[in-house]
Chain A
Amino acid sequence: MSDFLTGLSLVAHISTILWCAFGSILGIVLGALPGLTATMGIALVIPISYQLDTATGIGLLLSVYCGAVCGASIPAILLGIPGNPNAIATVDDGQKMTKKGLAGQALGSAVIASTIGGLGSEIFLIFFSPLIAQMTLAFGPAEKCTLSLVGIVIIAAVSGKDILKGLLMGAVGFVFAFLGPDPMSGAVRIPFAALLRKTPLSNGLDLTSTLIGLYGVSQVFSELENIRNGQRGEICTNIGKIFPPFRKILSMWKIILSSLGIGTLIGAIPGTGASIAVFLSRNAAETICANSNGKLEKPGTGCLEGVFAPEVANNACTGGALIPALSLGIPGDSATAVLIGALMINGITPGFALFSQNMPLVYSIFITLCIANIFMGLFQLAGVRVYPQILRISQRILMPIVLILSFIGSYAIAGASVSKGIFNLGTALFMGLFGYYMKKNHYPIAPVVLGLILGGMFEEQFRRAVKLGAGTLSRFYTSGICLFFILLAVAIIVSTTIRRRKEKNA
């Protein structure tokens, strides 16, 4: 109880509330604008979160994350273009409702459903993350090494169409992580060491600048191709009534519960993500509606059921995805990969140590997530008639601002050191170009981030495990947990390869 109260005291400041409110609004705006993603939003606010105290900074990041997932429903409903892949399944019914003159109810339902999903999944997060984190007590160096390998394999499997490309990108992330001091001996490992020893590169790449470059700067270069033909469809201005009938919401309790369960579970399984959960929940809703004796309308006909199911599920994924992210340090998607990086930049290392040594901070994360979900609901409802106007902002105006924000963010993280700031600017630009060319050639960039985050741990734990095994790999094949992780990694690679081949042949 005292841990909870201490955690509460960490966030019970007006500044925390205000930053969470700012994060929610920013997240909704980013989510609403096609082309700007939750991942990019998190990357761009990392420098701000770094300047705040830890709990407030995390609150800001979580608010942007939740807001962006929810905000994506706005263009999905009004324009038929999802703000990000989480809102793909909302497009069908959302657009049909808009054409029926029920845009307000569709937007209102999406907000209510998202809030239910976000808050509901947090209950699972609060119960399960400490339990899973406790399991990591049994982990030694070999287990930690193989766990990070599983993390890379999972993100490689989920974030691209070709798992080999994902794995190669993870390996590139490892190479970036190896730049700088050796984790065991401290010796500097950089090419042209005589020349670069006195530069900030001798301490390794700056994680924030790398994230900002990969997601912010690269997005600007990617969007240049859309800027020329960036005409959007006509935006519906007749919003009408916002709140759906309360009885109607109550009648959908089965859809809400099933979508909540599906969203949380899919979100918690690393490597799946919201874009799968939204379709599964929609399918489940179709079955429920078919068995409701006509009490519920079938999704696909432009009804609330078709908006509620995916919107509960995609925000339930946010709480679900934080379960492995906080307890094991394994992300479910690119947004949580960046979030883990942001947590580490803010001095938080996910895993059992976090839950055993800093429980007040864990509670503060839970509380700020709750605040983030509530604010997300309140601000999106309050601005239902205003946010559609955001869709009128042209990419041509936004992209230069994103580029400048990316540069200033990467510069600011260096604090008072101008030379480090300039180095960070160069890193952001280099990573931006690298990310742009990789994305253009269908190489996913999320594995690079995770490789950069986990590379150091992977190498250090590998060397510790080999040393404990007196120079052999015995620790890896005598531990059941290690064998399980290795088999899991192999199974993911094999199953993903088979699935992709089937999809290709189909």
Chain B
Amino acid sequence: MKKIKLLPAIMTILSVLYLIYVISSESTTLVADTVGGDPGGKVIPIMIALFLVLGFLFITLKERPEESKRNNGTAFLFVTTLILALLYVLLTKSVGFIILTTIVLYSLEYIYTTIDEIRRPVSGIIGGTATVISITAFYTLMRLITKIMLRMGKKGALPAIFGKNSTIAVICLLYIFVIVTILELTVVQTLKKRGLEKEANAGIITFAVVLFLYVVFKQLFLVGLAPGLLNY
């Protein structure tokens, strides 16, 4: 029996299912179409579904699978990335932006950068935990500064410009820059000297990216990033 390519075969099946769905669904016509002439909402979808079925069926019958093997390392990276991405989608609401982004980003950075090395899971996990704790601490401090400035700005204790979101966002960006620089020059350098370069790099990159994105999206553009566990 001849081997067939998997993707066009799956797409053919999905197209057939779509065709069945379209045919079995109710036709929708223009509201108040007293004159008539509206072909309804099924015509184009049926034409498209037929084209998809025939097209993918043709490719399924025409193409033969190529001999290609994904090596184990790439498969591991793919599965890990997929699982972490799925967790991100499923847990964002309950865990929240800060903690979940930190865990996912640190994990990916650590796993990707150590792909050619023998990993030390314990130091990786300790590094990740330390990153989560430090980001939570500095985030809490940043929130406190923001709230105090907004309150003082409203009361008139500070010039009005300090009560603006954009000003506070700039101050927070400076705060992140200073903290990242200090951490890079102290903690990261110390860890690197002790042979924990990958853990330190993954941690500092995660620290900078998570807090930077938080300030840009939450404080500058006022996007409602899910607070989750850090609901304060």
Contact = CB atoms under 8 A, between A and B. Distances in A.
Interface of A: 48, 51, 164-165, 167-168, 171-172, 174-175, 178, 182, 184-187, 189, 191, 217, 220-221, 224-225, 227-228, 394, 396-397, 399-401, 403-405, 407-408, 411-412, 415-418, 421-422, 425-426, 429, 432-433, 437-438, 441, 443, 458-459, 462-463, 466-471
Contact of A184 (B38, B88, B225): B38
Interface in B196-231: 201, 205, 209, 213, 216-217, 220-221, 223-226
Interface string B45-65: 100110110011011000000
A28 to B, nearest CB: 19
A412 to B, nearest CB: 4
- 7 residue pairs, one from A and one from B, having the closest CB atoms: A400-B108, A51-B221, A416-B224, A396-B112, A467-B37, A187-B28, A471-B37
A167 B116 CA distance: 41
Interface of B: 5, 7-8, 11, 18, 21, 25-26, 28-31, 33, 35-41, 43-45, 48-49, 51-52, 55-56, 58-59, 70-71, 73-74, 77-78, 81-82, 85-86, 88-89, 92-93, 97, 101, 104-105, 108-109, 112-113, 115-116, 201, 205, 209, 213, 216-217, 220-221, 223-226
A394 B113 contact: yes
Nearest to A419: B93
A189 B74 contact: no
15 contacts: A51-B221, A178-B45, A189-B28, A224-B74, A228-B115, A397-B109, A397-B112, A399-B112, A401-B105, A403-B108, A408-B213, A418-B226, A467-B35, A467-B37, A469-B37
B168 to A, nearest CB: 16
Interface SS of B by simple majority:
helix
A422 B48 CA distance: 30
B39 to A, nearest CB: 5
Given A400-B112, A471-B36, A185 B31 contact: yes
A136 to B, nearest CB: 22
A185 B41 contact: yes
A415 B21 CA distance: 33
A25 to B, nearest CB: 15
A171 B5 CA distance: 20
A118 B203 CA distance: 41
A51 B55 contact: no
Contacts of A425: 88-89, 92
Interface SS of A by simple majority:
helix
B48 A164 contact: no
Contact of B74 (A225, A407, A441, A471): A225
Contacts of A174: 44, 48
Contacts of A429: 85-86, 89
Contacts of A191: 21
Contacts of B37: 466-471
A418 B31 contact: no
A174 to B, nearest CB: 5
Looking at A185, A458, A466, the one whose CB has the most chain B CB atoms below 10 A away is A185
A418 B224 contact: yes
Given A400-B105, A418-B93, A182 B226 contact: no
Looking at A217, A400, A471, the one whose CB has the most chain B CB atoms below 10 A away is A400
A439 to B, nearest CB: 11
Nearest to B51: A171
B93 A471 contact: no
A403 B85 contact: yes
B231 to A, nearest CB: 12
Given A186-B31, A403-B85, A429-B86, A459 B223 contact: no
A121 to B, nearest CB: 32
A401 B209 contact: yes
Nearest to B112: A396
Given A164-B59, A168-B52, A189-B41, 17 more contacts: A168-B11, A175-B49, A178-B45, A189-B25, A191-B21, A220-B81, A224-B74, A408-B213, A412-B221, A412-B223, A425-B89, A429-B86, A438-B7, A459-B44, A463-B39, A466-B37, A467-B35
A182 B39 CA distance: 13
A192 to B, nearest CB: 9
Contacts of B48: 171, 174-175, 178
Given A224-B74, A418-B93, A421-B226, A164 B55 contact: yes
Nearest to B21: A191
Contacts of B43: 462-463
Given A184-B30, A189-B28, A411-B225, A175 B18 contact: yes
Contacts of A463: 30, 38-41, 43-44
